[in-house]
Amino acid sequence: MKILNIALQKDGKLTASSYELIEAAKSLGGEIYTLILAENASELATDLASHGGGKVIAISNPALKFVNDDIYCKVIKEIVGKYNPDLVLGSASFYGKSLFGRLATLLGSPLASDITNIESDGDSVKVTRPSHGGSVIAKVGSNTSTPFCATVRMKIYAESKDGNGEVVEETVDASAFESKMTVKDMKVESAGALNLTEADVIVAAGRGIKGAENLPMINDLAESLGGAVGASRAIVDAGWIAYSHQVGQTGKTVNPKLYVAVGISGAIQHLVGMQTSKNIVAINKDKDAPIFNIANYGIVGDALEIVPALTKKFKEAL
Ligand SMILES: Cc1cc2nc3c(=O)[nH]c(=O)nc-3n(C[C@H](O)[C@H](O)[C@H](O)COP(=O)(O)OP(=O)(O)OC[C@H]3O[C@@H](n4cnc5c(N)ncnc54)[C@H](O)[C@@H]3O)c2cc1C
């Protein structure tokens, strides 16, 4: 089986999920190819090769500096046509999901989005895809002659640490770099904030924190744990925090090692975005709050007292 990973870069640096894709591909035991598109892709390709990216295809062009779905999909389509992979893997990140919807359409391929496992018997592939908020686990396979496309949920696979590979510099038809859409610049919404979907620790706040004036205590706890700040939709809608922090059905799907839910009731629309977190700690004054049904550890009490006390303890411990 031939597997083509679509690695991505941001600001000229490889995303953590690029290495996770390699690990996912390794678990299938097939022939691994990894594609990296960038303004200058050579060094990134060498890095991917040294992490087990197999045959790493590097394409460099100024038009590839930012992820532009239109251009990226045309380039990927050409590479797919040349290398004929059976499986094309991307990350279920903000960029990956956007890219793969268009790519699968362009290739006429089936797409399984946000998968949590892949298995192969050598010829065919079967993926696991949670749906209906995780209450249904679908096993999806494909027997079409077109490549099967899938985006892999972030932080499910570890980052590939080592391995062998070789770099192949490729070019594609110049028309692939033409687009009616130009991405001129990208700005991070909250400078310095950790990327929520890549964070190992997330401290998330809900309506139980009472008001935007109490967000600094959430930032302090997150900072003391080296983590990022998440939020329920209730406090995003209330205008206490930017949408980029929202976790859940209409926000981000996260999978950190530790998720601390502060004053969050545990509505299903929130749970679907965080319930695969490795450890969940819930702080809520209502002992019957649904969040406790999925929490590994629960603290019943007033968040306004508990959060600063925890932060103090963590700071002392460091
Ligand atoms: C189509 C759709 C999509 C949605 N998408 C999302 C989504 O992506 N993400 C999301 O989060 N929601 C989403 N929602 C909204 C969701 O249904 C809930 O309304 C929302 O998650 C509730 O947010 P919350 O837990 O912060 O607030 P609440 O449900 O009001 O819960 C507040 C909690 O704080 C506790 N509390 C109160 N005071 C304290 C205190 N002093 N100390 C400790 N605890 C305290 C309370 O006991 C309560 O459990 C969506 C809804 C719909 C219909």
Q: What is the pLDDT of residues 141-174, one digit of tens each?
A: 887 778 999 999 999 999 999 998 999 999 999 9
Do 18 and 7 form a contact (C-beta atoms < 8 A)?
yes
Closest-CA residue to 277 (of 301, 302, 252, 242) = 252
**CATH number of residue 146's parent domain:** 3.40.50.620
Q: Does 178 score more than 80 pLDDT?
A: yes
Span 15-34, average pLDDT:
96
Same domain? For 237 and 301 the reply is: yes
Q: Is the CB of 270 under 6 A from ligand 1?
A: yes
Written as one letter, the residue type at 184 is K
pTM for this structure?
0.81
Q: Answer with the one of 145, 177, 209 that is the final residue of a domain.
A: 177
Same domain? For 25 and 111 the reply is: yes
The answer to whether residue 91 sits within a structural domain is: yes
Ligand 1: centre distance to CA 203 (Å): 15
The answer to whether residue 117 sits within a structural domain is: yes
The answer to whether residue 76 sits within a structural domain is: yes
More confident: 61 or 145: 61
Span 276-298, average pLDDT:
97
The answer to whether residue 182 sits within a structural domain is: no
Q: What is the model's pLDDT at position 51?
A: 98
Q: Does 194 score more than 90 pLDDT?
A: no
Q: Choose one of 264, 275, 277, 280 to mutate for the ligand 1 pocket test, by most ligand atoms within 8 angstroms of C-beta.
A: 264
Same domain? For 171 and 200 the reply is: no
* Beta bridge mates, 117: 128
The answer to whether residue 191 sits within a structural domain is: no
Same domain? For 113 and 79 the reply is: yes
Q: Is the CB of 109 under 6 A from ligand 1?
A: no
Q: What is the model's pLDDT at position 191?
A: 39
Going by C-beta distance under 8 Å and a sequence separation of 6 or more, which residues neighbour residue 56? 33, 34, 35, 36, 45, 46, 48, 49, 165, 166, 167, 168
**Residue located nearest, by CA, to atom 23 of ligand 1:** 234
The answer to whether residue 266 sits within a structural domain is: yes
Q: Could you give the CA distance from residue 114 to residue 94 in angstroms, rounded to a whole number?
A: 11
The answer to whether residue 162 sits within a structural domain is: yes
Span 166-191, average pLDDT:
88
- Tokens at residue 312, please? 């103090």
Same domain? For 144 and 85 the reply is: yes
Q: What is the model's pLDDT at position 123?
A: 78
Q: 2-7 and 87-91: which strand pairing?
A: parallel
Q: Could you give the CA distance from residue 78 to residue 85 in angstroms, rounded to a whole number?
A: 12
Ligand 1: centre distance to CA 120 (Å): 39
Same domain? For 173 and 224 the reply is: no
Q: What is the model's pLDDT at position 192?
A: 43
Nearest ligand 1 atom to alpha carbon 303: 42
Q: What is the model's pLDDT at position 251?
A: 92
Span 103-110, average pLDDT:
96
Domain that holds residue 242: 196-317
Q: Does 134 score more than 80 pLDDT?
A: no
- Mean pLDDT score of the chain: 94
Q: Which of 27-41, 134-148, 274-288 has the lowest mean pLDDT?
A: 134-148
Going by C-beta distance under 8 Å and a sequence separation of 6 or more, which residues neighbour residue 188? none
Q: Answer with the one of 134, 150, 177 that is the final residue of a domain.
A: 177
Q: Answer with the one of 130, 148, 177 that is the final residue of a domain.
A: 177
Same domain? For 7 and 139 the reply is: yes
Nearest ligand 1 atom to alpha carbon 250: 8
Q: Choose one of 249, 271, 287, 288 to mutate for the ligand 1 pocket test, by most ligand atoms within 8 angstroms of C-beta.
A: 249
The answer to whether residue 311 sits within a structural domain is: yes
Ligand 1: centre distance to CA 291 (Å): 10
Q: What is the model's pLDDT at position 186?
A: 83
Ligand 1: centre distance to CA 284 (Å): 11
Question: How many distinct structural domains can be found in the chain?
Answer: 2
Q: What is the model's pLDDT at position 121?
A: 82
Residue 107 confidence class, pLDDT cut points 50, 70, 90: very high
* Beta bridge mates, 204: 230, 261
